[in-house]
Amino acid sequence: MMLDEPMSRHTSLKVGGPADIFAIPEDQDDLQGLLEWLAGQGIFWMAIGRGYNLLVRDKGIRGAVISLERFNRIERVGELLIRAEGGAENLAVVRFAQALGLGGIDFISGIPGTVGGAMRMNAGAYGSGILERIESLNLLRNGIVSEVPLKMLDYGYRRLSLAPGDIVLGALFRLEERDPAATEAEIQKDLELRRSKHNVGHPSAGSFFKNPAGQSSWRLIDAANLRGTRVGGAMVSEVHSNFLVNCGGATAQNFFDLSALVKEAVFSSSGVMLKEEVRIVGEE
């Protein structure tokens, strides 16, 4: 457990003030014990994975941040079923399935982050969402671990609605038989596409804005002539305009100001109001 830990060390954007407490539980029992202690002390807490898709305000987080990075186990539990813990990297899950001759989730190969984050934002690409491949989620809710079937979850495009305080401990994937060579071809295709389009050369949180229905945020941002626009150390990437990047020395406020500028310019040019895809947390 660390005190006054800068969140800039734990987010892909490399910005964010300190968390009062930063804890990395070893396993489920350790996590439940930590939560009981925090509840007894009346301390607010929030859980994160590897800090992708996360923008922490400059004043930091009052309370505790719980990192699930050690919840990274993956196992086969049935002929077409694998279970991955919330801290497992997306590509690691695809590779695990590939070694078993299973596939169907190749599209998350190039999406940075972990299973827990992928579930919460229903991560996807090319018209697919990862929750379409889920049988159930293993949730920690009010101190109790439960297996929640997909049919009982409220989800949609780039979203999953959970109760406040829910922690995604893992997911049960139902896959299909797939030649490992075919999976490898899809993995390499996805990774190469993301290298060519998303290798922005600076720290980022991936796509900063959600795509409006039937439209692409990057096209709307391009139409507003915003590539390369900077506020302090934050910039609209010149490689992919839906990536806001840290060119060095950026603050969270730089990103908030740049986001506001982008939304205003896009609304003025197209009449569309963009919405952030990144998860924004911390003290205002």
Catalytic residue positions, numbered: 158, 207, 277
Distances (CA, A) of 130 to 24, 89, 121: 26, 14, 9
Q: How far apart are CA 149 and CA 47, in angstroms?
A: 22
Which residues are CB-contacts of 103 (< 8 A; sequence separation ≥ 6)?
A: 94, 97, 175, 176, 177, 178, 182, 183, 186
Give the residue among 96, 92, 56, 106 at the shortest CA–CA distance from 76.
Answer: 96
Would you give the distance in Å from CA 279 to the centre of its chain?
8
119: left (phi over 0), alpha (psi -120 to 50) or beta: alpha
Q: What's at 25, amino acid-wise?
A: P
3-state secondary structure 61-130: EEEEEEECCCCCCEEECCCCEEEEECCCEHHHHHHHHHHCCEECCHHHCCCCCEHHHHHHCCCEECCEEH
Would you give the distance in Å from CA 18 to the centre of its chain?
20
Q: How far apart are CA 276 and CA 256, in angstroms?
A: 10
Q: How far apart are CA 13 and CA 56, in angstroms?
A: 9
